[in-house]
Copies of this chain bind each other. A is one copy, B any other.
Amino acid sequence: MAVHGPAMTDVARLAGVSHQTVSRVLNGHPNVREQTRLRVRAAIAELGYRPNGAARALVTGRSQVIGVVAQNTTLYGPASLLAALEQTAAEEGFAVSVGSVRNLDHRSISAAVERHLSHRVAGIVVIAPVESAGEALERLPKDVPLVTVDGDPSRPVPLVTVDQVAGARAATQHLLDAGHRTVWHVSGPTDWFDSVGRIDGWRQALLAAGLDPPPPMPGDWSAASGYRCGQMLARMPEVTAVFTANDHLALGVLRALHEFGRRVPDEISVVGFDDVPEAAYFIPPLTTVRPDFDAVARASLQMLLSQIESGTGGALRQTVAPALVARQSVAPPR
């Protein structure tokens, strides 16, 4: 089908130059007379010429596309990251190809990466928050620019990550500062590095205060699991402060507490993580930790681009500090 659009030679003919000159104009090569440049531009506009990315990718061995591998782009974190990544990439003239993956196991990730490689993407960003992803990445061809986000800190792979530990510590400390004797934790799935980091930070804050951390309650990021944990917490009179690994868990907890007639923040204080846009409208407005997804996206892309340009694949590492957002779900214990 598709009547193919004009090619470079058509533009060249119309402008009365060689196709190479057109190529030069297109790529901003310096040695082109101004007058020629204008004539070429006019011809491009007149024909509605659009350069063929496939041809360019073929000859340069590299397309202006960045592949992103992510799991559940419906979750707020990944979705924000993806959007920010896409924006940043667009500014640099790159398109973003998503390869989402049902499970973050070895095979799925490798398959997604393979798909990207056969499209000759310029580089790959893997949002790989779980253990199994790390393994898949180790056996990747070494010559493809790669950055992982929220991945395994112990692997020698370029990594950009939100400082989960610091965020969790801040959240926990905030509760301790309010006067609570201890802080309970509803965690995310324990095979996610995000969860591990947040558990760590929470634990560190308690230990630093000379407290013995209570057992963390494992959730799965969903409000549903938060609700289940909340039902237990509500029955435990000694609980006065809860830090949840994300805002949706907090929502579930809030609802369970509400059902049991335990008032927030009067009886129990709650702090979340993520600062989803709705958090300010929970009942009560949720104190939470806001990771800067834009900063993460910018850092990742920068890291990737510098690899693409330089060709070196150093195992860099960059951490973005999150900020505590205080709202009304925290109060001193009675």
Contacts and interface: CB of A to CB of B under 8 A. Distances in A.
Interface of A: 1-5, 50-55, 57-58, 61-65, 72-74, 76, 79-80, 82-83, 86-87, 90, 95-100, 102, 114-120, 141, 143-144, 222-224, 226-227, 248, 251-252, 254-255, 258, 277-278, 280-283, 285, 310-312
Contacts of A120: 52-54
Most chain B beta carbons < 10 A, residue from A50, A63, A72, A118: A118
**Number of identical protomers:** 2
A58 B54 contact: yes
24 contacts: A1-B310, A2-B311, A3-B143, A4-B61, A53-B119, A55-B58, A63-B119, A65-B119, A73-B79, A74-B83, A86-B98, A87-B102, A95-B98, A95-B99, A95-B115, A96-B98, A222-B277, A223-B278, A223-B281, A224-B277, A251-B281, A252-B281, A255-B281, A283-B283
A98 B82 contact: yes
B83 A100 contact: yes
A73 B63 contact: no
Contact of A90 (B62, B99, B222): B99
Contacts of A63: 54, 119
A99 B86 CA distance: 7
Contacts of A277: 222-224, 248
A3 B5 CA distance: 33
Most chain B beta carbons < 10 A, residue from A50, A73, A278: A278
B97 A65 contact: yes
Given A86-B99, A95-B99, 14 more contacts: A1-B143, A1-B310, A4-B61, A52-B58, A54-B54, A57-B57, A74-B76, A74-B80, A95-B116, A97-B97, A223-B281, A226-B281, A248-B277, A251-B282
Contacts of A53: 54, 118-120
Most chain B beta carbons < 10 A, residue from A5, A62, A281: A281
A73 B83 contact: yes
A73 B54 contact: no
Nearest to A95: B97
A69 to B, nearest CB: 11
Contacts of A87: 100, 102
Contacts of A312: 1
Given A2-B61, A255-B282, A114 B50 contact: yes
Contacts of A102: 87
Given A2-B62, A118-B52, A254 B226 contact: no
Contacts of A222: 277
